[in-house]
Structure 1
Amino acid sequence: MEAPKKKLKVAIMGAKGYPYVYGGYDTLVKELGERLVAKGVHVRVYNHKSLFKERPKYVNGIECVYMGAVESKIGTQLSHTFFSMIHACFSNVDVIFVVNSGNGPIGWVSRFFKKASVINVDGLEWLRPKWKGIGSRYFFWASRLATKYFDQIINDSDEMQRVYKELFNADSKVIAYGAAVKEDVEVAPIEKWGIAPQDYFLIVGRLVPDNNADLIIKGFLESDSKKKLVIVGDVPFMDEYATVLKNLDDERLLFLGYVTDPHELGAWYTHCYAYFHGHEYGGTNPAMLKALGYGCAILALDTPFNQEMLQNGKHGWYFQKTVDSVKDIVETAEASKERMEYFRKTAREGLTQKYNWDYVTEQYLEVFEKVAGFKATKDKNPKRKLEKIDT
């Protein structure tokens, strides 16, 4: 007798929640979760209770569980994931998907309860300047434990896969972060600032040391450029590094803070002369993908991750981690208008299939089915049907 069909149930945790979109992981939860639901998967997302004033049970077909946490600077995320993991392990979900390598040690819970588990470990958190001392050692330890406790490790770039193999002797699967080709946005949102199209360079990202905004700003100010340097981003707390930068007095600098309107942010991307990407650690970066999607000429810090994303110089130029190198690339870019225009025209070609959200979702679904012991069966219904593999 044919085994009864069963709907795959996936629990997602480790981000802020759904539909709360703040950073890369929150966007991953949204884009992946909605597409999984469309494929007939039951998706449950564990939300930070304190962030949601309204708490509907279902949003766009996604089950939302509002979990509390021990609210503190270092304990909120870990405690929220721990409580969510306990809840999920006592439920009937088939696979638990966790994001953030800092949650690596919590995998012992799913291992103890014999629940299938997957973790996306992101980038080299232990090298980031904000995690000095104990914080750095914790993230390295947590990343190592993630490879021991979870059934499948997900990296979002080939370089991160290499790092995890080299440091932890751990096999992982590469599934890139998704992105989409964007239409050009009209110039109106930037005209209110009295800035013309291509009359400015652009930085987008948090004002933290490992994004190297200070380096880019210093190099730009030493150049002979008459253009503006527009900085989009901030930090959600009082910070000396960010404060020093924002207090720099030069008419060529424009600090916008957070730009939460996606239409306005798209306009800044669309009309910049070139986009500066100084992110130093991590795999596939969402800001870089947006720059490609909006057709930017890209000037990126020379790292293995940025080399991979720009296909070794096909879609941008690289600068070294020195003020002189930034100064030189500003002046060279301004003197190379034809090359910058070429980068703008071909940027969207850099969003190859691996960055397509539908393709990303298919890859995740294959992983979830595998670790949960499911297999796909053919059916005329466009929604995927699954049956449990006999063990």
Structure 2
Amino acid sequence: MRIGILGTRGIPNYYGGFEQFAEFFATYAASKGHEVYVYNSHNHPYQQQIFNDVTIVHCYDPEFKIGTAGQFIYDLNCIRDSRKRDFDIILQLGYTSSSIWFSLHPKDAIVITNMDGLEWKRTKYSKKVQKALQIAERLAVKKSDYLISDSIGIQKYIQEKYQKESTYIAYGAHNFDKANADILKEYQVEKENFNMLMARFEPENNLDMVLEGVALADEKTPILVIGNHLTKYGTYLKNKFSSFEHIRFIGAVYDLEYLNNLRYFSNIYFHGHTVGGTNPSLLEAMASKALIVAHNNDFNKGVLQENAFYFSSAEEVKKILNTIKKSNNLQFVQNNFEAIAKSFNWEKINEQYLQLFEQCLAGNSNRK
């Protein structure tokens, strides 16, 4: 198959979940003999034209000049270029800034869209923007040939709201068990004597709620807050909790070896996400044998089941910090580790994508 992957800033991953998935899936599909193209922003750090047998197509991305509006132009540029490539399959990752251009996708290609999370629920957006995102969601559902949901919750939502079927395929993770405690020295922490909170600095990820609980707790174990805090919301949080020396804002960390070791050796790993499907960082925490304390919502519970502690308020975070230790809950840790091997491993996820592509092609043999 000739496969085009659109909707990310590019590979290798320097940004987030979709970029990470694109990197793993594209290289996997290429290793199986498929011809794979990934669209990268023109200013992506990786400027070569081939990455692990995947062809990289750089398209102009004016976001660095004009902000969010630039994402729409970048997506348009990618879709316009895709019309020249004779793709069998176009995998569109997300829809927020691309769905208005969906009618421009090449007619002979089968367009399969991963619907991501409920983007219009993100609190960082104004009411007008949330309304626009609902329209974008509806366009993506209507214009795509096939849909992928990365969680059962998203699949159910699409079925109930739009009466349209979607294929459930989660994200994946690699089980991690080659720990290196030397990495902890760089962060001045010790084994199971620090906690972690890792997320984009956005209100719906509940960093504020978690850190409120940390501030209230009698337990003063250091907590590493990982993510790009050079934002307006990041500045707000740093100012709010500046008097608490055990709350350490260490910035974004993209090196998976570092992240996996930090998760592996942490005492508690907080996951505050509330919007979206199967979150990649959550799976990585499970795969790294972290003890997870997650926000109490259907998306997180759908993945973790009974193998985590849950919170809905700063008071509950406080109580958990004062009473819960990883060493007393190793069965939760092991159950999540085994769930990755059984249900969320990348080999299985990647193969599910390829099987879906083959089924879609077989059902649309007249398209070529």
The TM-score with structure 2 as length reference comes to 0.92
Which residue of structure 1 aligns with residue 217 of structure 2? Answer: 223
* Aligned partners of 1:35 and 1:361 also within 8 Å: yes
Which residue of structure 2 aligns with residue 381 of structure 1? Answer: none
Query: Residue 31 of structure 2 aligns to which amino acid in structure 1?
Result: A
Return the alpha-carbon distance in structure 1 between the equivalents of residues 192 and 92 of structure 2: 41
- Give 3-state SS (helix, strand or coil) of 2:43's partner: helix
Q: CA deviation at 1:53?
A: 6.4
Greater per-residue helix proportion = 2
Which residue of structure 2 aligns with residue 12 of structure 1? Answer: 5
Alignment of structure 1 residues 123-142 onto 2, 5 Å: 123-142=117-136
Which residue of structure 1 aligns with residue 260 of structure 2? Answer: 266
Which residue of structure 2 aligns with residue 326 of structure 1? Answer: 317
Which residue of structure 1 aligns with residue 105 of structure 2? Answer: 110
Which residue of structure 2 aligns with residue 255 of structure 1? Answer: 249
In structure 1, the gaps of 5 or more residues are 1-7, 376-387
- Give 3-state SS (helix, strand or coil) of 1:255's partner: strand
Which residue of structure 2 aligns with residue 308 of structure 1? Answer: 302
Which residue of structure 1 aligns with residue 355 of structure 2? Answer: 366
Structure 1 residue 49 corresponds to structure 2 residue 42: yes
Q: CA deviation at 1:238?
A: 3.1
Return the alpha-carbon distance in structure 1 between the equivalents of residues 314 and 45 of structure 2: 43
Structure 1 residue 32 corresponds to structure 2 residue 25: yes
Which residue of structure 1 aligns with residue 344 of structure 2? Answer: 355
Return the alpha-carbon distance in structure 2 between the equivalents of residues 286 and 69 of structure 1: 25
Q: CA deviation at 1:290?
A: 1.1
The TM-score with structure 1 as length reference comes to 0.87
Return the alpha-carbon distance in structure 1 between the equivalents of residues 189 and 345 of structure 2: 33
- Give 3-state SS (helix, strand or coil) of 2:170's partner: coil
Q: CA deviation at 1:255?
A: 1.3
Return the alpha-carbon distance in structure 2 between the equivalents of residues 136 and 286 of structure 1: 24
1:60-112 deviation digits (Å, cap 9, x = unpaired): 2111111113432122222222222122123311111111121223221227x
1:263-288 deviation digits (Å, cap 9, x = unpaired): 22222111111111101111101111
Instruction: Quickly say closer, same or farther: Cα 1:92–1:296, change in 2 above 3 A.
Output: same
Which residue of structure 2 aligns with residue 59 of structure 1? Answer: 51
Q: Percent identity between the aligned chains?
A: 27
Number of equivalent positions:
363
Shifted more, 253-262 versus 118-127: the winner is 253-262
Structure 1 ranges of 4+ moved more than 6 A: none
Query: Residue 368 of structure 1 aligns to which amino acid in structure 2?
Result: F
In structure 2, the gaps of 5 or more residues are none
Return the alpha-carbon distance in structure 1 between the equivalents of residues 218 and 108 of structure 2: 62
Return the alpha-carbon distance in structure 2 between the equivalents of residues 142 and 362 of structure 1: 29
Shifted more, 323-332 versus 25-34: the winner is 323-332
- Give 3-state SS (helix, strand or coil) of 2:324's partner: helix
State the Cα RMSD in Å: 2.1
Query: Residue 31 of structure 1 aligns to which amino acid in structure 2?
Result: F
Q: CA deviation at 1:184?
A: 4.2
* Aligned partners of 1:55 and 1:66 also within 8 Å: no
1:335-379 deviation digits (Å, cap 9, x = unpaired): x852x233233330121533121211121112222333479xxxx
Query: Residue 372 of structure 1 aligns to which amino acid in structure 2?
Result: L
Pairing partner for 1:159 from 136, 153, 161: 153
Return the alpha-carbon distance in structure 2 between the equivalents of residues 359 and 337 of structure 1: 31
Alignment of structure 1 residues 73-88 onto 2, 5 Å: 73-88=67-82
Q: CA deviation at 1:316?
A: 0.9
Q: CA deviation at 1:389?
A: 7.2
* Aligned partners of 2:260 and 2:285 also within 8 Å: no
Return the alpha-carbon distance in structure 1 between the equivalents of residues 152 and 367 of structure 2: 34
- Give 3-state SS (helix, strand or coil) of 1:358's partner: helix
Bigger radius of gyration among the two: 1
